[in-house]
Amino acid sequence: MKAYVFPGQGSQFRGMGHDLYQQSESARQLFDQANEVLGYDLTKIMFEGADDDLKQTIYTQPAVFLHGVVVAMTLNGFAPDMVAGHSLGELSALTAAGVLSFADGLRLASIRATAMQRACNLAPSTMAAVLGLSDAIIEQVCEGITDEIVVPANYNCPGQVVISGSVAGIQMAEERLKAAGAKRVVQLAVSGAFHSPFMEPARTEFAEAVAQMPFSEPRCLVYQNVDARPTTDPTRLKANLIAQLTSPVRWTQSVERMVADGATSFTECGPGKVLQGLIKKISPAIPVSNALD
């Protein structure tokens, strides 16, 4: 069974998608349509913009969404048996699977990005990657910090979990995690605490937008971040997509479940090779590649 996966924020790079734009007429039409839908020149930011521009959440998320969906929609033989996306990438996966139209998926990516940026501006918060500790120990440390908000945000692969919370909470967690044996705790250059209670204002705003969008039944199984379980139910797809903003990304569990359900290969659609690296650590026996390779 063929599994296709879509990356999230952090995989972007200046110039991404430019080769596609030049080489494929169908890709060029989608890029141009995206600019019309958004009302600004996103492709110029992607192809020529300053690195700092592309790092802004309001541009990063639509850009990464756009790249992944264009790759899937212009890929010869794109016939997934299952799809999944990491964080923002879940919107790309839903669109590639036919749940959302291209325009609606892009609108939701933009609304999500703007809502999350607003939430980040309300209170100082941050994230950090924890390397070399078990999920259980990280969860115990987070639960033990009761006077600040600190939660697991991304279960990326065995030995790599990202935590999210207040600045003071992350600093407190870093000391305790190192004492518990973490190899490294790396502060991330992000604008706020994604997938944590700090995103509740964004979740509320995003929920209103999702409620207005038509969701169709997907052409294949969709494995969502919130519960790492497959579904084709549009109602459940909506609920999980909304809940994801304040819930952890269960990427390790999602990949493990996809393999258990019969995935024989993984193809990453989108910029970079972040997910390929994670999947190789989660299920090293399963072939993984990038759609553009």
Which residues form the catalytic set? 87, 195
The backbone torsions φ and ψ at residue 223, rounded to the nearest 5 degrees and listed phi first, read: -105, 120
Count other C-beta atoms under 10 Å from residue 267's C-beta.
Answer: 23
End-to-end alpha-carbon separation of the chain, Å?
20
Cα 119-125-128 angle, rounded to 5 deg = 125
Structure tokens given for 16: 């991404």
Give the position of tokens 């990453």: 268
Beta-sheet pairing, 150-157 with 265-268: unpaired
Distance separating alpha carbons of residues 178 and 183, to the nearest angstrom: 7
d(CA 141, CA 175): 10
The CA distance from 256 to 209, in Å, is 31
Report helix angle 89-96 to 234-243, nearest 10. Answer: 160
Token pair listed for 209: 């937008």
Based on its alpha-carbon atoms, the radius of gyration of the chain, rounded to whole angstroms, reads 18
Measured in residues, the chain has a length of 293
Structure tokens at 261: 């359900």
